[in-house]
Amino acid sequence: MRNAFHDELDSIGTSLLQMAGLARVAMSEATTALLTVDLGLAEKVIAADDVIDEIQHDLDARTINLMARQQPVASDLRTLVSSLRMSADLERMGDLAHHVAKQARMRYPNSAVPAELVPTITAMGLVADKLVDKLSSVMEHRDAARALELETDDDEMDKLHRELIAILLSDNWPHGIETAIDMTLLGRFYERFADHAVSISRRVYFLVTGEFSSN
């Protein structure tokens, strides 16, 4: 009975890793679609968001069913409760990639990103990818020490976000209100994507240590 229970726990962990991998691909492809004005790729990301949603719904149903049937305590209960919260964060990360792709689609055949902001958005996309790559390793290996590193890694995204907002608020901004709104939204999507990654890393830390991160 206990072996079957822990097999189901492992299966939930595998689904969470699958969601993290899909969210990483989604944001990477959404960034590429945005910067290269690739409508087909944007449409692919938008459609693929349904897959992440379906995995979350299935994962949460399995988790709740397991809690009801097994009435777990201590670390097992902590694992199941954490998985519900982590799946919600991962689903939201998929949504944010979806929003980036929709922004690319909305401005097609024009680019939503002015040429001088391409380096900033490129950098934000790379930081997002780096964060999810590390997060996946943290989740797979339950690495509490590396989980804490994501807080520092997120500082890079926050810095890029501040730089973007400063450019948009400059008196010299030449692209008008509509483009400024587009870029404000895009900056927010990347910044929130990173925040959800940090949120998951904190949950992994709690899962391993039973304590909340002091960072």
The domain in which residue 173 lies consists of: 2-209
Q: Tell me the pLDDT band of 192, cut-offs 50, 70 and 90.
A: very high
- Is residue 163 in some structural domain? yes
The count of structural domains within the chain is 1
**Of residues 206, 196, 199, the one with CA closest to residue 23:** 196
- Is residue 179 in some structural domain? yes
Checking if the pLDDT of 1 tops 60, the result is no
CA 6, CA 136: separation in Å to the nearest integer?
A: 20
**Of residues 56, 45, 93, the one with CA closest to residue 195:** 93
Q: Tell me the pLDDT band of 73, cut-offs 50, 70 and 90.
A: confident
CA 60, CA 90: separation in Å to the nearest integer?
A: 12
Checking if the pLDDT of 142 tops 80, the result is yes
The CATH code of the domain that includes 201 is 1.20.58.220
What does the pLDDT read at residue 201? 97
Q: Decide if 124 contacts 30 (C-beta within 8 A).
A: no
